[in-house]
Amino acid sequence: MDDVDRRILSRMSRSVELAERPFRNMSEELGIPEGEVISRVRALKDAGVIRRIGAVLDPARLGWVSTLCAADIPEDRIEQFADLTRSMAEITHNYVRDGTPNCWFTVIAPTRLRVEEIKRTIEASLGVRVSDLPARRVFKIRVSFDLG
């Protein structure tokens, strides 16, 4: 990754225009040909530096429910947990972390009932208790990087 890649990533972390040609204005701003921006973004995505490019929506404004959940999954069942959570479209993130509980995941669903169904499925499938930790207040929803 060179300085041009870092400049592109810094700019993308602030926003990507929702437009027919989203990289055109970015290329003009950065002084880089549009085709080069596109090829560099594609290479960064192929290399795994960029996981995804997409909108950040506020589930509550859409009338949906979001919550952070946690469970203590036995080490020998973590792959089963990962497979199960990956199979549910409403689970947007899942992590294994040090400590107790060791597995954390985010659920965004159309109703509280659906969140409860997901929790019950995981509990029944893995024989664990799932803690539901909905946010009381959101302090920050975006991040931007200044990579140089």
Q: Delimit the domains of the chain by residue range.
A: 3-46, 59-133
In what order do the strands lie in the sheet containing 130-133? 91-96, 103-109, 65-71, 130-133
Give the tokens for residue 31: 């002084």
Q: Is 148 a residue whose pLDDT tops 70?
A: no
* 50-72 pLDDT tens trace: 988 888 788 988 999 999 999 99
Separation of alpha carbons 105 and 102, rounded Å: 10
Question: Which residue in the block uniquely carries the two structure tokens 């592109």?
Answer: 8
Please choose, from the candidates 52, 56, 47, 18, the residue with its C-alpha nearest in 3D space to the C-alpha of residue 39: 47
Determine the Cα–Cα distance for residues 54 and 59; give it in Å rounded to an integer: 15
Rounded to 5°, the CA angle 109-56-80 comes to 50
Q: Which CATH number fits domain 59-133: 3.30.300.180, 3.50.50.60, 3.40.50.10140, 3.30.70.920?
A: 3.30.70.920
Per-residue confidence (pLDDT) for residue 138, from 0 to 100: 79
Is the pTM above the cut of 0.85?
Answer: no
Q: Does residue 38 register a pLDDT over 70?
A: yes
